[in-house]
Structure 1
Amino acid sequence: MVDLKRNSKRIKIFLGDKDRKSISQMGKEVLSIWRIKKNFPIHYFGRLLYRKGVTNPEDFLDMKEYEDIILCKKHNQEEFVPLLSNKLIFSNFCERHSFPTPKMLGYNLKNEFFYNDEVLNINDEKNLFLFFEKVFDTSAHEKLFIKSLNGYGGKDVHLLSKSNLKKQLEPIAKRLLSHYFIHQTAIDQHPAINEIYPNSVNTLRLETYIANDGEIHILGTFMRFGSGGKVVDNVSSGGFFVPIDQQKGTLKEKATQGMIHGGKAFDQHPDTHFVFKDFEVPFFKEACDLARKLTQYIPNRLSGWDIAITLDGPVVVEGNNTPGITVGEVAYGGYVKHPLYKELIANTKY
């Protein structure tokens, strides 16, 4: 039912899209890709390849290729997946190896809360408020992010602030007491990025791949931004992405929403009106170096690294196995033309 509703919305967006190519042009492209890929190219619509500005739709992975690549066991070794899929394990790993990352002050396993070598059993909203009040008072932090241990796509991420704690806790208290979360310090984002959008931590997504010869490659790179007052930047949660020119470390011209959220394209942030084109991402080279080093320490062959930028440099927010590489592919301009495409596909055959 959910898929039917989401697909109905996508169809509605497609039919109302004034930027789509002519019916004859779309028909030719769909038939051409169908002939090449040997299956119906549903990705042609979901990845907005039907729009006038896309001149190379045949260079994009179809759904089978995409799923084969991200789910391939050669690309996701079972030894490393837990380090990336569980935020508690990942946070401890990064702190243990001195990677720049938000400090984890505590965590909870349902109603058992761990903080400062104490284990507290909390069963109601009143004591939950007292717990976080104590955390704020003893840690000297003004804001915390509460994140589900196995959440993804910005889901189950909540901001708590000392000044507005009671109001922010009320709608999530039951969820906190019945599930598993880590409690991390908030990131002080670089002022230049705050100018674009200050309400969320706007992260770089760097996709890394370890080739058969052992060399680490960065595939697609893009930057995500929140909007409309939201505190998360994930495309799947209503944010949008801007491709990055890897050679220059600058934003490209157009931002794009995920199709399920409207698929709108714009050249400036809808809230702040900041123009994206040629914005130089602070510490971009250092962020790429950090992604490569993380890949050395957690050598899952295909990973996605979410990296924030502060005044002091890049900070890793999280790592991801089986990363959704569709956005990175759009940023790159189609992975079929990537030099590693044949190798990626070949790995899925065994």
Structure 2
Amino acid sequence: MINKLKTVLNKLRKEAEKRETSVLRVAQRAIDVRIRQRMYLDEAIMIGVLDPRLPSDVAKAYIGRGDFVKHIREINGDGKGLLADKSLFYQKFMRDGIKIPKCYIFYSPEETITGDQRKLVSQADWIEVIKNELPDDILIKPALSEFGLGIEAYSRKDGRFVNKSESLSYEELYHKITSQQAYGKCIVQQRLRNHDFIHDLSNAEALQCVRLITFDNGKSKETQFFTAWFKISSGKGITDNFLHGTTGNLLAMVNPEDGHIIKVYRAHPLGGIIADVERHSVTNRQLTGITLPLWDELKTLAEQASKAVLPVKAVGWDIAITNDGPVIIEGNSEFAAMGKEGPYFHRDDLDSLIQSVA
């Protein structure tokens, strides 16, 4: 508890320094938005509503994560199960013919099946698949995790699956997944690679996805594309998550109509984020103003996916762009609030969402 309080006070001090005001005034605003808008401290810092110079009525117009999720749940009903469990989600999309990463093993303590629905019962069954059917580059993804947590990548080398931290024989990989329960319920799938254009932007191995928010009320033939964001890797780690800038990655606002990057956010040294990035810090490649490849194909895929998960009406899709075309990585029914002004939701964004799915 003491360490948690120290962390909060440190964040408040940094924000006060950045805003050139007192810690007390920042803390008062933080308490206000937490009670009134159910806004967590990190998101309040990210949005900038803790600046005492910001009029109170302007601060009130921003939606906290708590309020946002409440409204999203009202819109989407009880359809979260499919999207929350990646194993169920991937199997449905495989049946529907919607492009996802190729899945080789669906593991759960109750039953394990292959991508083509064969049961794996014995260790010998597993070893046969691991040895002869898995590609040389794989990803093991917990079925119930969020924010890319728990994902591990391996490459086959000299009859073992290795990464930076370990080298596993086929038997050791089998035991890690099953008897050790390292991932819980999980999926063993192909590791996708970025489109050459995307790779050249960052020179990173992490799969970098577009987050495209779609609305579909089930009545109209057309899916609405509300906002689009592109998560750009800083070159570290195997995921592209932004997490309020804490990962060091970048977050780009994208025009959902044509796929060009409008502006790019990074972490501010004193906390929060700032949209002042024009070039990638590692490659020096231009980011603002460029157009992402295969954008029409990406939107078509997102529309297919949005129809497939109805009656869930509002979804944040993570879509990878590869040399073989766009691929759905996952859908989120309680997605991060990424609006039209920035990586947060304004009251106007929420009103637009509600009207769109009515």
Band of TM-score, shorter chain: 0.7 to 0.9
Structure 2 counterparts to residues 251-270 of structure 1, below 5 A: 251-257=261-267, 263=273, 266-270=277-281
Aligned pair partner of 1:319 in 331, 340, 344: 331
Matched residues in 1 for 2:261 and 2:322: separation? Answer: 17
Q: What TM-score, normalized by structure 2, do the two folds share?
A: 0.74
**Contact 2:45–2:271 (8 Å) recurs in 1:** no
In structure 2, give the amino acid aligned to 1:60: Y
Q: 1:57 to 1:211 in 2, by over 3 A?
A: farther
In the other structure, the counterpart of 2:190 is 185
Q: 1:186 to 1:63 in 2, by over 3 A?
A: closer
In the other structure, the counterpart of 1:232 is 239
Q: 1:279 to 1:39 in 2, by over 3 A?
A: closer
Aligned pair partner of 1:205 in 185, 190, 211: 211
Q: 1:260 to 1:324 in 2, by over 3 A?
A: farther
Matched residues in 2 for 1:94 and 1:258: separation? Answer: 39
Q: 1:110 to 1:217 in 2, by over 3 A?
A: same
Q: CA deviation at 1:46?
A: 3.8
Structure 2 counterparts to residues 1-350 of structure 1, below 5 A: 1=1, 4=5, 7-8=8-9, 10-17=11-18, 20=19, 23=21, 44-49=44-49, 59-70=61-72, 72=73, 74-78=74-78, 80-110=79-109, 114-115=113-114, 117-121=118-122, 131=127, 135=129, 137-139=131-133, 141-163=135-157, 165-167=161-163, 168-169=165-166, 176=177, 177-178=180-181, 179-197=184-202, 198-211=204-217, 214=220, 216-236=223-243, 238=247, 239-257=249-267, 263=273, 266-299=277-310, 300-325=312-337, 327-328=338-339, 330-331=341-342, 334-338=345-349, 340-341=351-352, 343=354
- Give the number of equivalent residue pairs: 328
Q: 1:87 to 1:341 in 2, by over 3 A?
A: same
Q: CA deviation at 1:170?
A: 5.6
Root-mean-square deviation over aligned CA pairs: 4.2
Matched residues in 2 for 1:102 and 1:258: separation? Answer: 34
Q: CA deviation at 1:202?
A: 0.3
In structure 2, give the amino acid aligned to 1:278: G
More displaced 10-residue stretch of structure 1: 203-212 or 59-68: 59-68
**Contact 1:108–1:182 (8 Å) recurs in 2:** yes
Gaps of 5+ in 2: none
Percent sequence identity is: 17
Q: CA deviation at 1:14?
A: 2.0
Q: 1:108 to 1:146 in 2, by over 3 A?
A: same
Matched residues in 2 for 1:275 and 1:16: separation? Answer: 31
Matched residues in 1 for 2:133 and 2:10: separation? Answer: 45
Matched residues in 2 for 1:157 and 1:108: separation? Answer: 14
Tell me the secondary structure at the aligned position of residue 234 of structure 2. Answer: coil
**Contact 2:155–2:162 (8 Å) recurs in 1:** no
In structure 1, give the amino acid aligned to 2:48: L
Matched residues in 2 for 1:67 and 1:337: separation? Answer: 16
Q: CA deviation at 1:140?
A: 6.3
**Contact 2:258–2:295 (8 Å) recurs in 1:** no
Q: Deviations over 1:144-185 (max 9, x none)?
A: 110001111010111111137245556996863312110011
Matched residues in 2 for 1:258 and 1:170: separation? Answer: 37
Q: CA deviation at 1:267?
A: 3.0
**Contact 2:98–2:304 (8 Å) recurs in 1:** no
Matched residues in 2 for 1:297 and 1:329: separation? Answer: 25
Matched residues in 1 for 2:324 and 2:90: separation? Answer: 19
**Contact 1:220–1:332 (8 Å) recurs in 2:** no
In structure 1, give the amino acid aligned to 2:15: F
Q: 1:346 to 1:205 in 2, by over 3 A?
A: closer
Tell me the secondary structure at the aligned position of residue 68 of structure 1. Answer: helix
Matched residues in 2 for 1:315 and 1:259: separation? Answer: 34
In structure 2, give the amino acid aligned to 1:218: F
Q: 1:15 to 1:111 in 2, by over 3 A?
A: farther
**Contact 1:86–1:150 (8 Å) recurs in 2:** yes
In structure 2, give the amino acid aligned to 1:314: P
**Contact 2:215–2:313 (8 Å) recurs in 1:** yes
